[in-house]
């Protein structure tokens, strides 16, 4: 055996050992829905943690670099509400404060010209909404769950796409329920080639969804999503108990500035 053969042989053995010791794994142990699954693109398997609040970090560590402006600002929250402006002057979702800014999206609207963070900071985030032509209200509600958009053809699933989000890990809260017990939605979120699905709002034959106390799995669902630099995030409200797909509100919070490797 020559003197150069040993290093090559050793390197090959090391690579084989590394592949066996560190196989890829997938964590999907969501807090309320153990059935959360992954659909992956053809580029290979992906790893997405769904561990709940153990990923949360202090708010002062969440920062956003505004595209093309060379500035680093604190990333507070990002809020959207649909269809009807809330009756209450100060409103609150499941995160944030009553004084926070909400970006309003009316029925028939398919984009937002200027997206603001919860603290009023301007961003370069671009939001597009799929075609919609209807709006309705939720009885006994006056805040962000007060109204929702939908499509009258009852044949499409609504979607919202966000471009130019800073890379990192986000908690995304999606409120999606019509004003009838069976008008719930199954929510999917796609980012960087991975689609998270399996969570849906309440459909148990009761009117519990009208409660002013927001609960996960009732009026909204929550996902933890990895966002890669330059990768859009697509949120889809899929028809579930009825022929209606809808959006009431969406909230987003970046809980880590580094995305997980996949």
Per-residue pLDDT tens over the stretch 37-80: 334 344 443 434 343 333 333 333 333 434 433 333 467 799 99
**116 pLDDT higher than 50:** yes
**What local confidence, expressed as pLDDT, does residue 129 receive?**
98
CB atoms within 10 A of CB 106: 14
Half-sphere exposure of 66 (CA within 13 A, CB side): 13
**What local confidence, expressed as pLDDT, does residue 76 receive?**
74
Give the helix/strand (H/E) hosting 5. Answer: helix 5-21
For the chain, give every domain's residue range: 24-256
**What local confidence, expressed as pLDDT, does residue 261 receive?**
52
Q: Which fold does the domain 24-256 belong to in CATH?
A: Jelly Rolls (2.60.120)
pLDDT tier, 257 (very low <50, low <70, confident <90, very high otherwise): confident
Of residues 176 and 84, which shows the higher confidence score? Answer: 176
């Amino acid at each position: 055996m020559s003197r150069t053969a040993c290093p090559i042989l050793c390197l090959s053995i090391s690579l084989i050992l590394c592949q066996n010791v560190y196989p890829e794994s997938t964590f999907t142990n969501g807090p309320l829905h153990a059935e959360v699954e992954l659909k992956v693109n053809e580029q290979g398997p992906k790893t997405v943690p769904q561990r709940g609040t153990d990923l949360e970090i202090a708010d002062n560590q969440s920062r956003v670099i505004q595209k093309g402006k060379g500035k680093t600002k604190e990333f507070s929250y990002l809020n959207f509400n649909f269809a009807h402006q809330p009756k209450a002057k100060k409103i609150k979702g499941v995160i944030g404060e009553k004084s926070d800014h909400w970006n309003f999206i009316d029925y028939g609207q398919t984009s937002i010209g200027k997206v603001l963070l919860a603290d009023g900071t301007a961003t370069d985030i671009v939001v597009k909404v799929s075609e919609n032509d209807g709006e309705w209200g939720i009885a006994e509600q006056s805040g962000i769950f007060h109204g929702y958009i939908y499509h009258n053809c009852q044949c499409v699933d609504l979607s919202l796409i966000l471009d130019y989000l800073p890379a990192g890990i986000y908690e995304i809260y999606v409120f999606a329920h019509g004003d009838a017990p069976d008008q719930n939605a199954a929510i999917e979120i796609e980012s960087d080639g991975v689609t998270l699905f399996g969570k849906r709002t309440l459909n148990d034959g009761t009117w519990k969804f009208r409660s002013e106390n927001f609960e996960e799995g009732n009026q909204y669902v929550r996902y933890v999503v990895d966002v890669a630099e330059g990768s859009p995030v697509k949120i889809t409200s899929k028809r579930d108990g009825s022929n209606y797909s809808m959006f009431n509100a969406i909230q987003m919070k970046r809980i880590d500035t580094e995305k997980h490797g996949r």
